[in-house]
Structure 1
Amino acid sequence: MFSGSIPALVTPFRDGAFDEQAFRRLVDWQIECGSSALVPCGTTGENSTLSNAEHHRVIEVCIEQAAGRVPVIAGCGSNDTTNALLHMNFSKKSGAAAALVVAPYYNKPSQEGLLAHFSYLAEHNDLPIILYNVPGRTVTDLQPETVCELARRFPETFIGIKDASGDLARVTDHRTGIGKDFCQLSGEDELALPYNAAGGKGCISVTANVAPKLCAEFQAACAANDLLLARELNDKLYPLHYAMFEDSSPGPCKYALAQVHDWIENELRLPLVPCNEAARKAVDEALVHAGLL
């Protein structure tokens, strides 16, 4: 089971291309700071503007640089089922521990369509899958009944969920409907404390890109049931959690990383652009509050 602080890694760019050297340094820094696993090519990794060749190279480099020190959960989501399977096939061959597969976006499939999509992936590849539900981006909402049905049909494949629905009641829905071994990871940093209290085991995090040590310490405090320390660390991180979304993500995250490290560029791919002045101000203040600047 995955647990703890798991960054959804940014994809560094330099002059429009994947900055492999910066990405390798980011992977090393994350592991040194206590991140328990890594997610390349998620939403924060701007996967929607990567070509398939770039997408696969980012996953490949992440696995190669991690070198078995922590597991890699490869972002394999797509609104095209066959393309999601393509990503899963490559990730399995490359040594990923699991695939993070978002509910198909834009198409707006029904719950029956979601069952068919995820069942197809499970029937054609045995790589473990962490479901990813983020209705604010996909429009489609992966309902608890659908999650429980997938886990019932394919218990060896659907091992967990990254839930960014904002509905904390779903932690209990999933736990009682599937069992305590189903790995529940928050998809929203600011809700990680109550999410863990309800039965979650960690967070696939945006903030951990910038504050990996603090996020790892926070998750360790939660796992140890040290509520006072967890609350203290959460208060330290809280402004940064919100600053990460003061403008279109991962704009504020890349800006923050560029403030913390001189080896990463504040560069995004269109249609995303660097974050606005208000977001930069919020990030700067949050970095100071967290003791990172």
Structure 2
Amino acid sequence: MVMHDLTGAFAPVVTPFLPDGSTDTSRFIAHCRWLIDQGAGLAPFGTNSEANSMSAGERMDLLAALIAAGLPAARLLPGTGACSAPETAMLTRHAVANGCAGVLMLPPFFYKGISDDGLYGWYADVIARVGDRRLRLYLYHIPALSGVPIAHAVIERLLRDFPGIVVGIKDSSGDWDNLSRMLERFPTLAVFPASESLISRSRPLGARGCISATVNVNPGRISRLVKEWNTPGGAALQAEVDAVRQVVQGFPMIAALKDILAAGRDDEAWRRVRAPLTGLSDAQAETLHASLRGLGFRL
């Protein structure tokens, strides 16, 4: 596994589907290649990838296809979280074997109200099952959806007991106080906010960039902002990406991202989502695209 500090804007890559509901490998690879060409990194099988509506086999097959297609493993941070430690370890071992830069790992998200000891024990179990010093693990803190917050006390224990293995975290809490305290308390931890709107506030404190849904449709501008936030044009660039983010997050996020890709590429196939999700209504899509046109946005 590549050993280096990840920085930049990463896309939790949206997953295209074929008419029969199976994953669309060709479109997936093409989209990932476009994101890389725009300067972004790839976090496939994240929340906005519909990963929790996919089987472990589908996820591993798509990851293997990316590697076989020559996508750079050094810019790959696949999501490997599942409810069980054995399944999570299986997905993680596969990512390690394929040379990915790291893995993004949800906590076990079925049981609620679990103790810090229980959560620590689950991550320790996964690490032991993987059994590979090449593993680079990025925790995924998204309590609004997982229902399982990753407390600072748990992070501290994992960093102490697994140095060089537990190396980062994606903070999707939306809580600036939590994010800023995490950056202050854990200066060696690679922290990625979940929104580009926090780049100019968090980069001075040591954040590495962002892992954001809207990198799927605005990769070039967000990638530039990670690098240029403190340049003379940084404030204007921040305002520009904020405006796009505000529009898109006003709709069901996955459906909106896919509708933007479908319209921008003149490819209706991109509108397909996997049940239980549904696509945008005609009225929603019309409002979304009118708002983006008003900003001068183009894919």
C-alpha distance 282-65 of structure 1, shift in aligned 2 (>3 A) = farther
State the TM-score, normalized to the length of structure 1.
0.91
Per the alignment, residue 133 of structure 1 pairs with 141
Per the alignment, residue 124 of structure 1 pairs with 129
Contact 1:102–1:133 at 8 Å: present in 2 too?
yes
1:208 matches 2:208 = no
User: How many Å separate the matches in 2 of 1:259 and 1:233?
Assistant: 24
1:185 matches 2:192 = yes
2:210 is paired with a residue whose SS is strand
2:111 to 91, 107, 110: 107
Per the alignment, residue 7 of structure 2 pairs with 3
1:92-112 deviation line (CA, Å, top 9, x unaligned) = 122222110012213123222
1:196 to 174, 199, 203: 203
User: How many Å separate the matches in 2 of 1:209 and 1:186?
Assistant: 16
Contact 1:144–1:173 at 8 Å: present in 2 too?
no
1:132 is paired with a residue whose SS is strand
Per the alignment, residue 13 of structure 1 pairs with 17
Per the alignment, residue 84 of structure 2 pairs with 80
1:242 to 242, 246, 249: 246
1:130 is paired with a residue whose SS is strand
Q: State, as a whole percentage, how many aligned pairs show the same letter.
A: 23
C-alpha distance 106-191 of structure 1, shift in aligned 2 (>3 A) = farther
Contact 1:206–1:244 at 8 Å: present in 2 too?
no
Q: In the alignment, residue 26 of structure 1 is paired with which amino acid?
A: H
Q: In the alignment, residue 176 of structure 2 is paired with which amino acid?
A: L
Residue segments in structure 1 that go unaligned for 5+ positions in a row: none
Contact 1:186–1:203 at 8 Å: present in 2 too?
yes
Query: How far does residue 243 in structure 1 lie from its aligned partner after superposition?
Result: 3.1
1:253 matches 2:260 = no
Query: How far does residue 67 in structure 1 lie from its aligned partner after superposition?
Result: 3.3
C-alpha distance 199-5 of structure 1, shift in aligned 2 (>3 A) = same
1:159 is paired with a residue whose SS is strand
Q: In the alignment, residue 298 of structure 2 is paired with which amino acid?
A: L
2:61 to 57, 63, 66: 57
Q: In the alignment, residue 157 of structure 1 is paired with which amino acid?
A: I
Query: How far does residue 279 in structure 1 lie from its aligned partner after superposition?
Result: 4.0
Query: How far does residue 217 in structure 1 lie from its aligned partner after superposition?
Result: 1.1
User: How many Å separate the matches in 1 of 2:236 and 2:70?
Assistant: 30
User: How many Å separate the matches in 2 of 1:198 and 1:57?
Assistant: 38
Per the alignment, residue 30 of structure 1 pairs with 35
State the TM-score, normalized to the length of structure 2.
0.89
Per the alignment, residue 228 of structure 2 pairs with 221
Query: How far does residue 64 in structure 1 lie from its aligned partner after superposition?
Result: 2.9
RMSD over aligned Cα, in angstroms? 1.9
Per the alignment, residue 144 of structure 1 pairs with 152
User: How many Å separate the matches in 2 of 1:96 and 1:262?
Assistant: 32
C-alpha distance 89-269 of structure 1, shift in aligned 2 (>3 A) = same
Equivalenced residues, count: 288
1:193-252 deviation line (CA, Å, top 9, x unaligned) = 322233211001111100111111111112xx22x4222112112232133333333111
User: How many Å separate the matches in 2 of 1:65 and 1:282?
Assistant: 37
